[in-house]
Structure 1
Amino acid sequence: MTSLGYINGRFVSLEELVLPIEERGHQFGDGVYEFFRVYEGNPFMLEEHLDRLYRSADLIRIDIAPDRDELRAIMDELISRSGLANGDIYLQVTRGMAPRNHAFPSVPSSLTMTIKPWRELAPAVREQGVQVLLHPDERWLNCHIKSLNLLPNLLAKQAAVEEGCFEAVLVRDGFVTEGSSSNAYLVKDGAIRTHPATNHILGGIARIAVRRIAEEQGIPFLEEAFGPEELLAADEAFLTSSGIELVPIAGVHGRGAIGSGRPGPVARAIHARYAELTRQR
């Protein structure tokens, strides 16, 4: 079993030097990406991820050369060649390779992928919950596009890390939008609340799963923005992404605990069902 890469028709070692200098993803961040978690050889919610990939590419006017069937076949072969039944796939599509110029070139798009073993969370993360840092949301206005331009996200995450926090929870115009690499939720009076899926957030695929599970379990799922004070007054709170699945929030750095300061029953129930769904395929 090994980590493995793919670039424009070739499967490559991750140690091989393959990125041309005049690649627009490298020069401009001119591209989009997706992250897929693979469970027992199957990328979870593959079609939803591909929907978002093609939607993001359309919004920045990149034509993804492989169609969906071809992409699925490439991913299947990447998984097979790597020997990793459980792994993380990053897929990136850029506008291609051309002499540096802001205007769009007439060149084919470029496709790269990697598969690596899971980045496992320590059991205490879910058992005890995590601390988060409130941070200004300084990103652009098209956060619904899963673009390669992640510098504001990186700076927010680093600010959180330097304060000993798991995640930065972003605040724009007095409302919590999402985490630097996750969606954010609170639970109040038995109902889940999260920011509406506008251009101010990236609608996560794990978020879709959480909504489906909530509906299945009869838990109200409300797309309603909330502020930091409402977050602090919540009964529970949690984060989701494809990589972390669901992680409870125990407290806000410098502001105190949320609820009991421990993972609550709604977060536990949602994640238990999520774990069943990912592992029963």
Structure 2
Amino acid sequence: MSTLGRWVVGLAALPLLHACGSLPTEPGDGPPEKTVDVSGVPEPVPRAEPPSRYGNPDSYEVFGETYHVMDSSDGYRERGHASWYGTKFHGQRTSSGEPYDMFALTAAHKSLPLPTYVEVTNLDNGRSLVVKVNDRGPFHEGRIIDLSYAAARRLGVYATGTAPVEVRALNPAADEENPEEGATPEQRPDELMELVQNAGSVGERAEAGPVYLQVGAFREADNATSLRRRLEAADGIGPVAIREEAGIHRVRVGPLDDRGHARRLGQRIADLGLPPPVVVPSR
């Protein structure tokens, strides 16, 4: 995009950029009228996405201050204070063009590329959460990230309004696993029946060997650990383990000898908003 084009995009985005610079304590903003249970909202899974067409100008100006958008989130880690925003902006367009959903796990940041996935850790209580950065803000000194209402509730920021946090960018592009030569093909859940149907009785299944549901494969151990924690926090999923092979950290559920149990677990994992797991024979 030309410099002029980016300047025009920046001007068009300014009304959106102003939105999440507000405090939750301002008139018209705050929590929903009735308390909403957000404990079951699944954390977003970092994945490579194209940059937002509207949310990534070279620079933009808010309240007389000029902000520069980073070319990449690689290596980003920062400590500061988090705030949150709620009902006043619910349903409005974010700077990336997506509607703001106060019940999703999202956030706003002044300079990270949109979208970026980050892990936010509340330094007061140690809680960590993965959120998707899809908006701009907060435009207040000392604040580095504006959390959605749901994210603020989960991290314990809601009650205090602000909290000291560490924000660490996650790089899904670096975690994508390249195909490995000689690897055994892995089956999707709809192929599980074919994999285990020929096993017959429990004894015969044991002879054939158990299967595992592989939910993710990462080069970064921290990302694998985050996924394992998310799976372990869900009811009825386990055992969960990380298997490291040739620098790839594979998050697997199992071993599973029962085909019905494996199908149910696969569906349960998909219901969390995660990609369908692949079935890996024991080998």
TM-score (norm 1): 0.29
Structure with the larger helix share: 1
Higher radius of gyration, 1 or 2: 2
